Copies of this chain bind each other. A is one copy, B any other.
């Protein structure tokens, strides 16, 4: 059916969550179109599962999205690397020499770890968190042979890695973070310090407000030298200081690049060139709260964008009520779940937003004499002038990972404080906080009192 060079209706470059969901959605909406997905790795790693390949999972192969989704949906999968795009002739050139002509092109090329010019960064024993099956297999082996691991960067991935690796016996883990605290982009201090304390209690050394000067060693890494004069022993260093959109295909085209070096797209994931869409980490979308263009790199956002693009390739079939991209996260550190959506108080203030915050603490079971009762801490951030919700931060047991989605929906729907006060909820003694002290309602009420 397909030759090496051929023509297709829909060509998707990238086989991560964005590419997969876009292909499946395109199939649901276009039963007879030819759909081709091209990816450059033999297997698709579950990206957010990467921190867990070292201990909770036994093999990198346990962190794989199976390819049967392509077969089931009559989607052609090709393993190859796109190297050039000609948008005039609507053709993509590949490493193997293959050329594919498309009718609609979706770029889901993802992102790559940020490299920084620290002296010694090229030494053996310095690793990045790449979404690359073969690379990760080697990294896993190297980690399991190590004694002293230094993680540079205390964002989500750095913190999750530290949490995971601290479960491995006889391994010394350190985090070096330039900012004053870990997880500072998503959480205010009250919440980020919960993560830091949990990690410290479990033996992870955390150096915040600390810049790395040099990665030292002969042939291979031996230590990490920091600004304060510390020299942290290391036989393995992992850099997790962020990621950068993969936009090399834009080179030879007139594709517009955004402020943060991602493909510029509109709310329907259309680039500035007709018939070319971009989704996921490589696309730069508008933030829901601040309206700034940002490349939000979360697989939940990537899949959401994929659904919008996939449904609207040929016709406008899926209306998007909420035009902005809302970042929502959750993670687990030593059994405590931390979750956030929208902006935190610190970021809101930086953006010049006058906010009022509400806070609550409630147990997740009631009466709290019941087994497995744990505290839920919630902070809500509201726009002071209108009472509109802007953000939320949560810490507690596993169920807060869905509670954050209540708040994500609330932001998407533009709820205000009084809407929360009359929010009708479901509660149960064995499962949730008591209706008398339900976290969201309590935090909203505490904000309301500050406004009066």
Interface residues of A (CB under 8 A from B): 17, 20-21, 28, 46, 48-49, 52, 56-57, 62-65, 288, 299-304, 307-308, 311, 318-322, 325-326, 328-332, 337, 339, 341, 366-367, 369-371, 397-406, 408-410, 412-413, 415, 418-419, 421-432, 434-436, 438, 441, 445, 449
A416 to chain B, nearest CB (A): 9
Q: Is the CB of B406 within 8 A of A405?
A: yes
Chain B residue, CB-CB nearest to A307: B421
A-B contact pairs, 17 of them (CB 8 A): A20-B436, A21-B436, A28-B445, A46-B366, A46-B429, A52-B370, A57-B370, A299-B434, A299-B435, A300-B424, A300-B427, A303-B438, A308-B422, A328-B425, A330-B432, A398-B431, A412-B423
How many copies make up the complex?
A: 2
What CA separation (Å) do A326 and B307 show in the bound complex? 30
The one of B46, B307, B422 in contact with A422, judged by C-beta atoms closer than 8 angstroms, is: B307
Answer whether A422 and B321 are a contact pair too, CB < 8 Å, given A48-B428, A303-B436, A405-B403.
yes
What CA separation (Å) do A323 and B49 show in the bound complex? 43
Q: Is the CB of B46 within 8 A of A337?
A: no
- Which of A326, A410, A419, A436: most chain B CB closer than 10 A? A436
Q: Is the CB of A431 within 8 A of B332?
A: yes
What CA separation (Å) do A165 and B325 show in the bound complex? 48
A418 to chain B, nearest CB (A): 6
Answer whether A428 and B332 are a contact pair too, CB < 8 Å, given A318-B418, A410-B409.
yes
The one of B48, B397, B398, B419 in contact with A429, judged by C-beta atoms closer than 8 angstroms, is: B48
Q: Is the CB of A408 within 8 A of B424?
A: yes
Q: Is the CB of A408 within 8 A of B429?
A: no
- Which of A369, A405, A418, A449: most chain B CB closer than 10 A? A405
Answer whether A371 and B48 are a contact pair too, CB < 8 Å, given A408-B426, A432-B330.
no
What CA separation (Å) do A316 and B321 show in the bound complex? 32
What CA separation (Å) do A49 and B21 show in the bound complex? 43
The one of B28, B424, B429 in contact with A49, judged by C-beta atoms closer than 8 angstroms, is: B429
Q: Given known contacts A311-B421, A398-B431, A405-B426, what 16 new A-B pairs fall within 8 Å (CB)?
A: A17-B435, A49-B366, A52-B370, A56-B371, A62-B369, A288-B424, A303-B436, A319-B418, A320-B422, A328-B424, A328-B425, A330-B431, A332-B431, A339-B426, A398-B398, A408-B424
B-side contacts of A432, CB under 8 Å: 330, 401-402
A15 to chain B, nearest CB (A): 12
What CA separation (Å) do A397 and B430 show in the bound complex? 12
Q: Is the CB of A427 within 8 A of B56?
A: no
The one of B300, B425, B445 in contact with A405, judged by C-beta atoms closer than 8 angstroms, is: B425
A206 to chain B, nearest CB (A): 21
B-side contacts of A415, CB under 8 Å: 413
- Which of A62, A371, A422, A438: most chain B CB closer than 10 A? A422
B-side contacts of A401, CB under 8 Å: 399, 426, 428, 431-432
Q: Is the CB of A318 within 8 A of B421?
A: yes
Q: Is the CB of B369 within 8 A of A57?
A: yes
What CA separation (Å) do A426 and B399 show in the bound complex? 12
B-side contacts of A318, CB under 8 Å: 418, 421-422
The one of B321, B330, B441, B449 in contact with A426, judged by C-beta atoms closer than 8 angstroms, is: B330
A24 to chain B, nearest CB (A): 8
- Which of A48, A406, A424: most chain B CB closer than 10 A? A424
